[in-house]
Structure 1
Amino acid sequence: MTAVAQADSRGPERTRQRLLDEACRLFALHSFAGTSLQMIADTLGVTKAAIYHHFKTRDEILTAVIQPAIDELRAVIAVAQAQRTAAARADAMLSGMVDLTVRHRALIGMIGMDAGVTNALQSHPDIVELIQRPAELMRLDGSPGAEINATIALAGIATAASSPVLQHHDQDVLRDLMLAAGRRVLGLRTRRAAS
């Protein structure tokens, strides 16, 4: 295959990714409900028809925007479920969620804080069920207190990662501090650093 043919075959993928990146930026800036397909097209300098070539609705764009994080979440859940004890499952789920959240800071904040995103995702029961699974795996027992602690830990992680006040922190520092705070909220033992 010639270099020109390779470039042409990757063109639609690059265009699609640019569209998704810009949509995510606009969703974060204006909210999901406040972002139209026309706004996305205008920002990219393309026609609305060009957007329709890739996606028919904003909901389809949203689903594509969150898909990489959803795929990672499935893997994190599988690792947590494989642990033998409730504490090990909770710790693995917490660690995985912190890592995922740090990698997808803006996206996780958008999913957790934008009511329009929450409403749009209701039409995807498989995604809703998947998003609820971490809280279930982070409960150390069936008590209401454990459920509340898991919910607070997850909400705190999402809020901290997407907070403009904390954007200056290095990812490793943010990760370590969020993990320590999550362990305290859940009542898990804090791991000592290797010397």
Structure 2
Amino acid sequence: MATAVESFRRHSVAGTSLQMISDELGLTKSAIYHHFRTRDELLEAILEPVMGELEKLVAAAESARGSRAQADAMLTGFVALAVAQRTLIPVLTGDPGVGDFLRSRPDWSAVVQRQLALLAGVEPGMAGQVKAAVVMAGIAAAVGVDYPEAGDDLARLQDELVTAGRRTLGLRSPRGA
């Protein structure tokens, strides 16, 4: 799956074939087909754990009291997920083929819409929705950047992403943070 993600990064989902992945691994095409009959099956296997984790984060954020607390819980949870999956998230969120695939799965599409609603809940209307979309896309893009100054300090990256997200959404840091 790591080879598939790297191929998706280089060539996009639509530009990657199972043959390309099997060639990269030095396997026969039938060896790949034994596990995944289609590229979509492979993409689903890659996305499933991430979407499962996102579903848990959304449910936890929805249980918070008040729109600001919900948005902050969603923000901090998504940042933690994005940092933990920093090689995968930028690839998946920046690829139109993945967007099409997510829309073909109503259950996963609904999770993303709930995530967006939680982040947008701080400010009603289109302004809140735009800010939420900017935060989601910004986090997804920013986790894939190398920050030489930070080195391997993922906690610092996480803190900076949460701070930037809070500013964009108009959230204050919780007391004592």
Q: Which whole-Å CA distance do the structure 2 matches of 1:81 and 1:190 have between them?
A: 19
User: Which residue of structure 2 lines up, in the alignment, with residue 145 of structure 1?
Assistant: 127
* Consecutive unaligned residues in structure 2, runs of 5 or more: none
Pairing 1:57–2:42 present: no
Which of 155, 158, 163 is the equivalent residue of 1:172? 155
Greater relative contact order (Cα < 8 A, sep 6+): 2
Match of 2:71 among 70, 90, 101: 90
Superposed CA offset, 1:94-134 (max 9, x none): 00000000011122111211112222333212212212221
Counterpart of 1:113 in structure 2: which amino acid? Answer: G
Measure the CA separation in 1 of the matches of 2:100 and 2:147.
27
In the alignment, the residues of structure 2 paired with residue 172 and residue 192 of structure 1 have an alpha-carbon distance, to the nearest angstrom, of 19
Contact 1:66–1:107, Cα closer than 8 Å, also in 2: no
Counterpart CA distance in 2 for 1:165 and 1:66 is 26
What letter corresponds to residue 153 of structure 1 in structure 2? V
Give the structure 1 partner of residue 112 of structure 2: 131
How many pairs were matched up? Answer: 175
| Residue 162 (1) aligns with residue 144 (2) | yes
AA at the equivalent of 1:144 = M
CA distance in 1, matches of 2:3, 2:156: 28
Structure 1 portions without partners, runs of 5+: 1-19
* Cα distance change, pair 169–62 in 1 and its aligned pair in 2 (3 A): same
Contact 1:184 1:190 in 2 (8 A): no
Match of 2:129, SS state, is: helix
Deviation at 1:169, TM superposition (A): 5.5
The whole-number CA distance in structure 1 between the counterparts of 2:51 and 2:104 is 15
What is the distance in 1 between the residues matched to 2:144 and 2:48?
19
% identical equivalent positions: 44
Deviates more, 1:39-48 or 1:121-130: 121-130
Greater helix content: 1
1:32 is matched with which residue?
13
TM-score, normalised relative to structure 1: 0.83
Deviation at 1:168, TM superposition (A): 4.4
| RMSD between aligned residues | 1.8
2:172: which partner in 1? 189
1:118 aligns to what?
Answer: 99
Once residues 121 and 191 of structure 1 are traced to their aligned partners in structure 2, the CA distance between those partners, rounded to angstroms, is 33
* Rg (Cα) greater in structure: 1
Contact in 2 for aligned 1:86/1:141 (Cα 8 Å):
no
Q: Distance in 2 between matches of 1:27 and 1:170?
A: 26
Q: Indicate the residue corresponding to 2:81 in structure 1.
A: 100
